[in-house]
Amino acid sequence: MYVVVGVLALQVAAGHTDDRADQRGAIETVAAQPVGRLLVLVLAIGLLAHCGWRLYRAARGTPGDDDDAGSVLQRITQLSRGVVYAGFAYVALRIVVDAGGGSGGTSQKAASKALDLPGGTSLLVAIGVGVMAAGAWHLSKAFTRRFAKDLDLRGRSDLTRRGALTIGSIGFAGRGLVYIVAGGFLAHAALEHDPNETGLDQSLKRLAESGYGPNALRALAIGLFLFGVFRVVDGMLRREAALAYA
């Protein structure tokens, strides 16, 4: 999905602002291809299965861990990921049955409702800051290369090792910077009480319109694309002992 989002972001940078440069746009792009609805249905089933795995991890916890702060944080992280993937699966299923194709605006509607709640502005600012903090954490992996400890690179060629580390570093940098941009726009939207600025799609389009221009968006798009490639490499090379932390 990150590969497709990266391609869509490149199209936005080239001036195709009608394209949705987010996860929904990626699913809609797949659905528009020959036998695309079948592929999206398979994707939805996979997303639901992944959601179930995340929720199971949240309920079970990490094997061998006590219920300390770190274990609780891991459970919360797995729960939040499960909810995110449930949302992706819901979008995919709606597109398959053509119940919400092209409707969009999900992030904006949610943000608008949140802003109408007591303390809604503070809540969205806090979420935006949290997204930015998550982005900084992902960005740090580009420099520390902590992801390498989960890869089984023993016996691999020097080219394979260098390639995996390079793609992973660029990919995590791109993902982290996108999180930071999206979180910053979310916090700004909350302070301005403007829900139309929320969501990955709007964040990337606003970035393309900013002083940094399309070049910054192209760099982020390449990072997202390579993060998608790294996820494939990660699935092929991940150590068995690290599968529980995937």
Q: Where are the domains of the chain?
A: 21-103, 105-246
CB 181 within 8 A of CB 203: yes
Cα gap 164→157, rounded to integer Å: 11
Structure tokens at 166: 């390079």
Q: What is the pLDDT of residue 108?
A: 63
Cβ-contact 221, 170 below 8 angstroms:
no
Q: What is the pLDDT of residue 188?
A: 78
Residue 230 and residue 198: Cα distance in Å, rounded?
A: 27
pLDDT, position 210: 65
pLDDT of residue 165: 93
> Can you list the residues of the chain whose pLDDT is less than 70?
1-2, 4-31, 33, 35, 62-70, 99-111, 114-115, 194-213, 241-246
Q: Using CB atoms within 10 A of its CB, is residue 147 exposed (0-12), middle (13-18) or buried (19+)?
A: buried
Separation between Cα atoms, residue 157 and residue 133, nearest integer Å: 35
Cα separations in angstroms, 170 against 50, 131, 166, 202, 241: 25, 19, 6, 23, 25
Nearest to 226 by CA among 10, 36, 20, 42: 10
The reported pLDDT for the residue numbered 167 is 93
* Residues ≥6 apart with Cβ < 8 Å to 213: none
For the record, the structure tokens of 38 come out as 């079948």
Give pLDDT, residue 168: 93
pLDDT number for residue 175: 86
Supply angle C-alpha 145, 130, 60, rounded to 5. Answer: 75
Cα separation, 156 vs 128, whole angstroms: 40
* pLDDT score at 46: 84
